[in-house]
Amino acid sequence: MTQIVKLDPRQADWQSYPTPEEKQISGPVPQRIANLYSDPTQQFHVGFWGSEAGSWKVTYTEHEYCQLLEGLVELEDHQGTIIRITAGEHFVIPAGFQGIWRTLQPCQKVYVIFEPA
């Protein structure tokens, strides 16, 4: 694909899914995703993601840049350090991060993911 991809959450094809059972902390949290671009190698992805309030365990094999568009979230690493992120803030989750994702207020983010080979 060599065409420009416009990122518009209102025009995106959103897919809903529950939090996988093995990751649940506060029960099944409704989540949704709209992947708008993946490169031919399937290592680079761009799109939107959102969730309702709740918490679950995360383990990142990918590097992920995010901008929180709405809501309030916290990320807690395995050492107990908590980072709070509010709407409008940008952040990067490096590959290898393990911890807890907490959605404190329903959220939506734009993501850019790179999955090393």
Region of 98 (left: φ > 0; alpha: ψ -120 to 50; beta: rest) is beta
Render pLDDT for 93-111 as a digit per residue (tens, 0 to 9).
999 999 999 999 999 999 9
Which pLDDT band holds residue 117 (cuts at 50, 70, 90)? confident
* 116 close to 76: Cβ distance less than 8 angstroms: no
Which pLDDT band holds residue 91 (cuts at 50, 70, 90)? very high
pLDDT of residue 1: 61
Q: Which tokens sit at 31? A: 């989540």
- How many helical (H) and strand (E) elements, i.e. helices and strands, does the chain have? 0, 8
Which pTM value belongs to this model?
A: 0.93
Which domains are seen in the chain, by residue range? 16-114 (2.60.120.10)
Q: Which residue in 45, 53, 48 sits closest to 33, CA to CA?
A: 48
pLDDT of residue 98: 98
Which pLDDT band holds residue 2 (cuts at 50, 70, 90)? confident
* 52 close to 23: Cβ distance less than 8 angstroms: no
pLDDT of residue 75: 99
CA–CA distances in Å: residue 79 to residues 15, 87, 97, 108: 33, 25, 11, 26
Render pLDDT for 14-66 as a digit per residue (tens, 0 to 9).
999 989 999 999 989 999 999 999 999 999 999 999 999 999 999 999 999 99
